[in-house]
Amino acid sequence: MDEEEPWTCTVVRAHGLRLMRPEKAWRPIVTVELDKAQLHETVLGSDGQAVNVRQSFRLRGASLTSQVEVKVFHRSQSKKKGKKRNLVGSASCSLGDMWMKHGGEPKLRLNCQNPTNRSPGSRGRPQNGALVHLRLRPPPSFASGSNPALSDDEDEGAFSSAASTSSHDSETLIPPSVEEFPQQPIKRRRRVRGYCVNSDDEPPSYSETDDDDDEKPLLGGSMFNDDDEPDRPRTPVKISFNPVEWIAASLLPRYTERIEIPPELNFFERAISSVTVYREMKGACGETDFERIFTRLQMEWTYTAGVLVALAAVDTAVFSISPGSIFDISPVARGAVAASSIASGLGIACAAWFLVRYAWVDLHTFVTRAEDIMSTENPSYFFFAISARIPSLLMFISAIALMLFMAIVAWSAWPMAVLGLSFLVGLLLGLQFLVFGLVWVAKTVRKFFRFLVRIAAFREPVVVEMTEKN
């Protein structure tokens, strides 16, 4: 084809280029270069679409073997003079390959440039799916005589014919004659067989019709044959697998961490655990469990010490009451307030001891100090669990003794109020036990009446039968 019938190329659009630059919107510059000689350039919109789809390039002197190189550049939109272009991606292939693979609407995948840390586009994201959509129009002489859907052999002949003919030749492209060479004997290679586990025999999973010399190649290609024998007519090889003799991969792990299950608590240990932290400390497996117990005990000792200080202040105020007051203080009341003051004083001392020894240390020191002296290989926290609740126990004793003192003193002034309020508080505290007792009594009475009804129903037929006999 001569220069009067050139190929035409149009840049339609570009895909996947928006995130390749850190700028929010930029206009790609697309260049089409033919054989390093002709250079055509167009600027696309910020959305990747061509501004003028009717604008096309004439590739003069192009043949099917001509190399077409498509490049995409970026240029800064600032007003700085001498703005430099930055190469974003490129694609290169021959005109014949482009026409054979894609036809008139080729979509070329760009090889994106790897950004460096010094370049201003290093913050962009590499896009593996960047494409440039072109539109090719061959000369009329080529379009009337070729078909992009031809087979490979016909395309090669058409390419060689199109490159050698001129515009005065016939419009029909005839592939040139190909010299036939004498066919070489096809070599073959023996198939490598596997082996059976725990057996020296051949694997029974292959169905064979011939011996080793008559085996067929697995892939059926001549490039895999190495023997000097000529290849025999190819027949399909039937491969079957015995479902009993295959070996499956083990899905179960071969190693699991040893999990130690703590032994069950006996009756005495369960009784102690109901009022202490013995169960939690015995079942603790890591630092997380010990840290939770440590935080709980710190808060308990702190609040208990505050309540004990308040009780001690009340006891001190009671001791300052003169004998000629409006309330008569009996010897029992004086003993109760004395017991309350003793318990509150001991509780304050115990809480201070625990705060000094355990509260302001790290977790590892707390665990070490909490172990019993008689601990063996397995650490024991039995005695520490009991002693840690002593401040709370003394607080309870001090509160009960102070309540008893106030009740005795108030009894002399208003006995009915003391009985009524004490009964109401006791009823509310033990309401669930009262309801449980009532439900249990109701069920027992119901079962008893059912038992009586069954006995009466059983004896009635017997009495009737004896009456009929008489």
pLDDT score recorded for residue 79: 60
**Structure tokens of 255?**
């190693």
Least confident of 83-97, 326-340, 385-399, 429-443: 83-97
Question: Any idea which residue has 């799916």 for tokens?
Answer: 129
Question: Any idea which residue has 């200080």 for tokens?
Answer: 309
CA–CA separation, 172 and 144 (whole Å): 7
CA–CA separation, 382 and 375 (whole Å): 10
pLDDT band at 244 (very low <50, low <70, confident <90, very high): low
Residue 223 has pLDDT above 60, yes or no: no
Work out the mean pLDDT of the chain and round it to a whole number: 74
pTM of the predicted model as reported, rounded to 2 decimal places: 0.43
Residue 259 has pLDDT above 80, yes or no: no
Q: List alpha helices for 93-135, DSSP H.
A: 95-102
Region 166-190: mean pLDDT is 47
HSE on the CB side for 224, CA within 13 Å? 9
Angle (CA) 418-422-426 rounded to 5° is: 175
Region 118-144: mean pLDDT is 64
- Residues composing the chain: 470
pLDDT score recorded for residue 256: 65
